[in-house]
Chains A and B, each alone.
Chain A
Amino acid sequence: MTSLTAFRSRPARAARRRGSAVTPPWLFAAPALVVYAIVVLYPAVSGVVYAFTDWSGIGADGSFVGLANFATLFGDEQAMGSIGNTLLLTLAIVVVQNGIGLLLALGVNVKLRSRALLRVIFFAPVVVSPVMVAFLWKYIYNPDPSAGLNGLLGLHVDWLGDPSVALWSIAGMVVWQNAGYSMVIFLAGLEGVPRELHEAAMIDGAGTWQRFRYVTWPLLAPALTINLMLSTIGGLKLFDQVFAATNGGPGYATETLSTVLYKQAFVFGKYGYSTAIALVLALFVAAVSLVQIYYTRRREVTA
């Protein structure tokens, strides 16, 4: 798989193997590098610098305050709560979304008459704007016992208004939207499992579960790596759905790192503090990516 080898293979080795390729001039990369530097690199570096200042966002750059913003952050109950919420939300999304995605993929991978249609149905929410999905679910999560999810299940739950439920309700709508994405990545992985291996295992007397456990599952490792990374990074950065559905409420029950840093910047004008929170978020994302690349790669096998 190219994506995984892309990290590993040194271009020098690849090019030498193919011999005759002549290196194109630097100029080919220059326009992309300029735009990338303006939009991503320069702002990210200044973001890191501002995280150590008390900049208010207007006028002068503020003064250097050392680690004060981080001290504030770790003493700020609301911000610490948002870190907890972000991690719980991410964990719930990663586990449930990939679990459901895997089950859907296994179901749709069987030669059913309706498989093409099923695949389209499960995938469709992926292409819709998360904000619009959040508004739809805001109604589905209506506290009214005769409407939405309550009406369907005969319950009387205040899905987004009850602080002990709201975070899981957000996870639910995210899973509904993205399970199809995990499904298609697992499906692509399942296509790579050779039939002969299944047949050989069957001849050896392996049952359905054993064939899944010892044939399919190990070969799904690359798809699992990709799914875990995508859903973890997506969960950590989650903003649109929370912003549209609860805006962090009730109280601070669904406040995440992204919503807190948004409010600190655009509501309270504490830009320095806001970028400090962004830096913490960046470290989380980077740490998770590295750990996942390391661990999931170790158990990968090739067919």
Chain B
Amino acid sequence: MRRTFPLELVMIAVAVAFLFPVYTLVSLALKDPGQIASSPMALPSPPTLDNFADAWTAAALGPSLVNSTVITVVSLVALIALGSFASYFLARVQSRLGYGLYILFLLGIVLPFQLGMIPLYRLVTDLGLIGTHAGMILFYTGIQLPFTVFLYTGFIRALPGDYAAAAQIDGASHLVAFTRVVFPLLRPITGTVLILNAVFIWNDFFTPLVYLGGSGFETVPVSVFAYVGQYVSQHGLVFAGLVLGALPIVVVFLALQRYVIKGFSSGLKG
């Protein structure tokens, strides 16, 4: 027997206890109302998939998945484009003003967004972007830029400037030197930026609730929220909706778990 065996047993016991809410979630989603009332803790017998079919249509999850995907993907592209370009400048600039600009960006990490929440809501309304994908994309791009700039700038500073300089001696413009030479070197941090922002944007709740509620362009968490409010006491239906709502991101996580965990743990260390 290995010396680590007792610890292994303890950790597995902890994991089993940790998974109790997940067991509750999945088992209730597979039960009919009678089973939920009579034996809420037991395994579903027999399991039923009816809840899932009902939840899928009642929660309008199909359209919400499309909305969430569009908003997340376009925001990520904008964040990476704007963030990497700005960070290249901020990492290389030598003036005091440039350093001040970097600090100005970092300020956005500390500021709670609630401070500007209402003026921003009014601004987005005035721009006619309430209830649209564009409004959400603008919001996420702006609100996540400070963190994105922080990650990119730290990484670029640790990168030697020689490659870009060599390309420029060969006659490349700043634009070409950055896009052809520097940006490909940023792959590891771009992966981190992608993962952290994707999880945040996909799961964000408050702003899409306020901006998109009732527009027909709701994201997954907003649809699930409305759906749960409607079927509150029908636990089987509610939990089937929660399983379906959480499934896409859980599947992506399980497929990419090594990169996701690495992104979360290394992201803040660069």
Contact = CB atoms under 8 A, between A and B. Distances in A.
Given A1-B270, A112-B11, A9 B117 contact: no
A240 B270 contact: no
A18 B21 contact: no
Given A111-B4, A121-B19, A23 B94 contact: yes
Interface in A103-130: 104, 107-108, 110-114, 118-124, 126-130
A43 B157 contact: no
B242 A136 contact: yes
A187 B122 CA distance: 43
A127 B203 CA distance: 8
Given A11-B91, A152-B41, A32 B115 contact: no
Interface of A: 1-7, 9-12, 14-16, 18-26, 28-29, 31-33, 35-36, 38-48, 50, 57, 104, 107-108, 110-114, 118-124, 126-132, 135-137, 139-140, 144, 146-148, 151-152, 176, 181, 184-185, 187-188, 222, 226, 230, 233, 236-237, 239-240, 243-244, 258, 261-262, 265-266, 271, 274-275, 278-279, 281-282, 285-286, 289
A47 B116 contact: yes
A135 B228 contact: yes
A151 B99 CA distance: 57
A15 B92 contact: yes
B9 to A, nearest CB: 10
A132 B157 contact: no
Contacts, number: 306
Nearest to A5: B154
A6 B154 contact: yes
Interface of chain A, helix or strand or loop or mixed?
helix
6 contacts: A3-B270, A6-B157, A39-B141, A40-B142, A42-B116, A45-B116
A194 B113 CA distance: 40
Interface string B115-138: 111111011000000000000001
A43 B89 contact: no
Contact of B111 (A35, A44, A126, A130): A44
Contacts of A131: 203, 205, 221, 224-225
B141 A129 contact: no
Task: Return the 6 tightest CB-CB contacts between A and B, nearest first.
Answer: A39-B142, A2-B270, A43-B116, A21-B161, A32-B86, A43-B120
A47 B145 contact: no
A39 B265 contact: no
B250 A129 contact: no
Contacts of B143: 39-40
B88 interface: yes
A225 to B, nearest CB: 10
A176 B21 CA distance: 10
Contacts of B238: 135, 139
A39 B203 CA distance: 19
Nearest to A57: B118
A123 to B, nearest CB: 6
A11 B40 contact: no
Contacts of B66: none
